[in-house]
Structure 1
């Protein structure tokens, strides 16, 4: 991957810039009990994806209003569960070092995104939530929208993700993708500190 061509960085939120994995898992476990679904089956497909997509996968019997209500319930379980939500290691330093525009593209709604970013002490210059798109991840619409709003061609954007659905969305948008947590991506990275070093070497961040 040639990081010298990167003109903008597009970040996923949960698990990438914000360590909210425990809160996400707690909410889905409670939801799974309420909706009579195996929690392991839910957690296997929920990470990084919009709530409605997960609901449709694990409760295919629900349609229309039922899906919307189930997804809304899941989000409600997360809104106030912020006690252990923090920035991921290296996130503040990376964001402070960036010399190119950046944005966050998340499967959360705007209320949840702002709550978690606030808890993590992160102020996003541009935030694209699931409410800003017709179709969420793994569809590329969110990343394409962020690139357009930043005025950067997708092929000159670096997407940073920690989930397979997000990597799929980034690649489909035409961007290069850096992957955390061992996900298959164009640029595997161990953590955001490593990405800061790589971008600094490419002149996109200062050490």
Structure 2
């Protein structure tokens, strides 16, 4: 039988998405969007199918009934999310991986707002990095590369020298548009995942800090 080799990567910085990548917030997210759907008589499954990786305001604008106040509905949803983090946990191995990284070598790039990012990372028992780029910090959300470009700039690295960890199609498209190599976390199998290394979770990932960045060893999947 042919063995599959471990994948080795080097990077000056690591850029992480949050929901579905570092944090499993699936149950909380679904509860909030189902409340929104019930509030307006909408199809919750249709909303959930297209919401992953997208900023809340953009999902609201797509699904809210005609005449709805998108800003007000977005604020209502965000308040629901911030108040309800039950069931939010870290993706296995994420805590150990982040603890092994030098603080100036990683950033969080999330489609959640800053307050929600703080709440969910805390609920999952994960630290916040020095650089957090949230939905509040960009004009255009994923798949636009603005967030990843901003994170790389804040860390003082070229995007091509960073590695992005993402679980959603929109986020992977954003990484590609930013010129950053990416690793898929989880089972998503859209077009943007073609040819990319993949992780089920972070438990078997090893990391070593170097003078110029980090060296990663990813297990075969």
Normalized against structure 2, the TM-score is what?
A: 0.83
Task: State the aligned residue count.
Answer: 201
Map of 1:120 onto structure 2: 124
Residue among 39, 54, 65 paired with 1:34: 39
Q: Is the 8 A contact 2:8 2:217 kept in 1?
A: no
Residue among 72, 81, 85 paired with 2:84: 81
Structure 2: gaps of 5 or more residues: 1-6
Aligned CA-pair RMSD: 2.2
Q: Report the CA distance shift for 1:73/1:143 in structure 2 as closer, same or farther (over 3 A).
A: same
Map of 2:115 onto structure 1: 111
Give the 3-state SS of the residue equivalent to 1:92 in structure 2.
helix
- Higher fraction of strand: 2
Give the 3-state SS of the residue equivalent to 1:3 in structure 2.
strand
Structure 1 residues 1-207: aligned runs within 5 Å: 3-4=9-10, 6-59=11-64, 61-62=66-67, 66-98=69-101, 101-125=105-129, 126-184=131-189, 185=193, 186-194=196-204, 196-197=205-206, 199=207, 204=215
Please identify the structure whose Cα radius of gyration is greater: 2
**In the TM superposition, what is the alpha-carbon distance from 1:177 to its structure 2 partner?**
1.0
Structure 1: gaps of 5 or more residues: none
Give the Cα–Cα distance (whole angstroms) in 1 for the partners of residues 161 and 73 of structure 2. 37
Give the 3-state SS of the residue equivalent to 1:45 in structure 2.
helix
- Higher fraction of helix: 1
Q: Report the CA distance shift for 1:173/1:204 in structure 2 as closer, same or farther (over 3 A).
A: same
**In the TM superposition, what is the alpha-carbon distance from 1:205 to its structure 2 partner?**
5.1
Q: Is the 8 A contact 1:103 1:127 kept in 2?
A: yes
Normalized against structure 1, the TM-score is what?
A: 0.89
Runs of 4+ in 1 over 6 A off after TM superposition: none
Give the Cα–Cα distance (whole angstroms) in 1 for the partners of residues 27 and 67 of structure 2. 27
Q: Is the 8 A contact 1:56 1:62 kept in 2?
A: no
